Structure 1
């Protein structure tokens, strides 16, 4: 079970990074110039946009839950 939780966390991390990379590439793809692409990418990760912040937290939360669950299983003594 511990190995499965670690694999899940690793796979979810890869998918989350790929989703973020796709968002940045999409910002550049829909822009008309390099600077508007930079502006679009920066608007995705704007720290004052609470919607994107909550989306990123929801995206990465399963990783932390799986790692916490794995660590609690490791620390628990077996009888």
Structure 2
């Protein structure tokens, strides 16, 4: 079973990844200059997949306690 979640601008998302997790980012056009940080706080080596609002996968984390920081430039989300 995959769990899905939609992040908000400036959100720090804590993920308990005992099952695969899909996180959608807010639209880039309305999120310019904002960040989203995603951190796995518990779970196994289940994948955390991060997608834009248009469905493009931009990041994937498959290791425990990983952190992904994303910045929006108004056109796209950038993995820092």
Q: TM-score, normalised by structure 1?
A: 0.22
Q: Going by fraction, where is strand more abundant, 1 or 2?
A: 2
Relative CO higher for 1 or 2, CA cutoff 8 Å, sep ≥ 6?
Answer: 1
Highest Rg: 1 or 2? 1
Q: TM-score, normalised by structure 2?
A: 0.21
Q: Going by fraction, where is helix more abundant, 1 or 2?
A: 1
